[in-house]
Amino acid sequence: MRRARRPPRRLVGSHDEHVPSLAVLQRWNALPSLPICVVDVPGKGLGVVARRALPAGTVVAEYTFRLVKRAQCPPGDYRVQVRGARGYVGKIDARTFGPPSGGVAQVGALLNEPSEGVAPSCVRSAGWLDPPGRARRRGAFNLVTCEAVRAGEELTWDYGRTYGSRSYAHGQ
């Protein structure tokens, strides 16, 4: 008798979102000079932890996104608030993740929100956004530690109010 195959676990919301496998992410981030590494965080899925102790103000990851109208971003998709782009959100796509650039890992979209009652360890920088009128506008920001972080500690940040409803309190 043939066993039914279980469908693969989806890590993303819609068809244009793409998260590389954990093995690929770990290979990209295996450089000893990078302060972080991607791991499987129990109960949360993929996440990012500090490889070594990090002082406050350390750039740990870049979060790259494609600018889309908020109405075109289905509920459950990864999305972030984009300052200065009213009615739009930043959405991950195949170009969100890549090899480290300038010594910074391009895995910002994998940092989780903190657990309930725990303050986030990172904040987002001001970032950049392509000028209006450009097709498939893109943008990015860095995630920076807001406090000292111990080696092995999960790095987290507050996704903000555009991410959708959650069963726990959040700031921003």
Regions of the chain where pLDDT drops below 50: 1-13, 15, 172
Q: How far is CA 18 from CA 38, 47, 78, 84, 97, in A?
A: 16, 15, 10, 26, 8
> pLDDT at position 160, please?
72
- Which long-range CB contacts under 8 A does 13-16 form with residues at least 24 apart? 13/74, 13/76, 13/77, 13/78, 14/74, 14/77, 16/91, 16/93, 16/94
Q: What is the pTM of this model?
A: 0.80
> pLDDT at position 65, please?
92
